Amino acid sequence: MKNVILGALGASVALTMAVQANAGSLRAVSAPMIVGQTSTATLVGGGDPRYFANAARYNGVVSLIMETSGGSFICSGSLLADRRSIVTAAHCVSGGNGTPTPIKTTAYFYGGIDPDVVPSSSTLATSVSVASYFVNSGYTGQVIDENDIAVLRLSDLAPSFAKSYGLFTGDLTGQDFNVAGFGRRSDTGGSVGANLNPGRRRQGDNKFDYAIGDPAFNGQFEGAFGGTAAKSKIMLADFDNGLASQDSGCRIAVALGAGNGFCDTGRGAMEVMIAGGDSGGPSFVNGRIATVTSFISSFGMNFGDVDNALNNSWGELGGFVPVSIHQTFIRRSMVGGTVPEPATWAMMMLGGGAVGGSLRRRRRTTVTFA
């Protein structure tokens, strides 16, 4: 029996459920929940500078702090062309099926050069409250869901230093990409996985291996992930270390009878894997947003995971929602977009704590990270 362990990526206060599903010989265990080849720690802590995301091109990748009745947690997002909208993951702001949004969400922009600033606790960052939430109507709240996408409307324009991004809508299979976010990090790298707190922006590279519903799998792969949500368009990228033994994307494809056409041992020293808190963050192709970060998964050591634990280590896979399948939703949710009939939306609500007039510096907020 092949095991599949799955986890959503918000760095949150608690995990509350596990779901099992069977599909032929594949059994999935799913639960709601930037690690480099080497350390992504702080500079003082020995972090590898190649993973720092303090270049100006990342100034539009934001830290999102969601305040809820059960505590606060962090996700990531990216600024769209209207400069009032942030695209992120739906699971950061909704449990699906119209469940309540956070009590308050704040976007933190940082345009400085210090790679180790935590924007949500720094006076060097600029905060803008979220005024409205637009959650894709197809989002179910399940861990594996290709509709795991939302657009957050800011209460004011983003600061002038923040870069905004267009959408990449081309084919992603076999496409190299760069990913960024504020998720958990590692003081060692892919041999150990995530063991440091989220909150500092990091970046790195990877390659999209294939979609869950790639025709090469003849429909055999989707059932392994369980649930009833649509998932065939989700893109997967494995965490390679240059060795065939950790090439999980290859090993899975071969096991599914798709041959060795998907075998690839990675992008070298810049290859990374997403981690908790990177949820909602962007993957870039040619400087445009190609996907929104959604979840991580492991098929165990028999299929490449270096340690048989879901911890963002070598041999695990990341799940990404392509923006290409949500172009209409995203554009309609932006300022100036044509808002559809209410029935089309799962949620379109006003958020509390909006800032009026001009941008202001953040006030101190206590955030608990799990």
CATH code at position 179:
2.40.10.120
Which residues, listed in sequence order, are joined to residue 331 by a DSSP beta bridge? none
The C-alpha atoms of residue 8 and residue 117 are separated, in whole angstroms, by 25
Task: Report if residue 100 sits inside a domain.
Answer: yes
Task: Report if residue 348 sits inside a domain.
Answer: no
Which among 124, 42, 109 is positioned nearest to 77, based on CA atoms? 109
Task: Report if residue 6 sits inside a domain.
Answer: no
pLDDT at residue number 31: 35
The C-alpha atoms of residue 211 and residue 224 are separated, in whole angstroms, by 13
pLDDT at residue number 249: 95
Q: Collect all residues with Cβ–Cβ distance below 8 Å to 243 and sequence separation of at least 6.
A: 265
Task: Report if residue 140 sits inside a domain.
Answer: yes
Task: Report if residue 15 sits inside a domain.
Answer: no
Task: Report if residue 48 sits inside a domain.
Answer: yes
Q: CA–CA distance from 240 to each of 139, 202, 256, 278 (Å)?
A: 30, 18, 19, 19
Q: Running along the chain, 370 residues long, what does each successive block of 10 average in pLDDT?
A: 43 34 39 70 89 95 93 96 98 80 94 95 96 94 95 98 98 98 86 85 97 96 91 96 94 94 95 92 98 93 88 92 98 81 38 28 26
The C-alpha atoms of residue 41 and residue 200 are separated, in whole angstroms, by 9
State phi, psi for 69 to the nearest 5 degrees.
-65, -20
Residue 125: how many CB atoms within 10 A of its CB?
21
Question: Within its chain, how far is the Cα of 297 from the centroid?
Answer: 13
Tokens representing residue 338 in the block: 């044509």
pLDDT at residue number 9: 56
Rounded to two decimals, what is the model's pTM? 0.85
pLDDT at residue number 326: 98
Task: Report if residue 9 sits inside a domain.
Answer: no
Amino acid at 214: D
Question: Within its chain, how far is the Cα of 121 from the centroid?
Answer: 21
Q: CA–CA distance from 45 to each of 49, 116, 181, 196, 300 (Å)?
A: 11, 10, 19, 11, 30
Range(s) of the domain holding residue 247: 21-335
pLDDT at residue number 19: 38
Amino acid at 259: G
Q: Collect all residues with Cβ–Cβ distance below 8 Å to 100 and sequence separation of at least 6.
A: none
- In sequence order, what DSSP letters do the residues of 155-195 get, joined into one string? SSPPPTT---B-B--S--TT-EEEEEES--B-SS-TTT---
How many domains does the chain fold into? 1
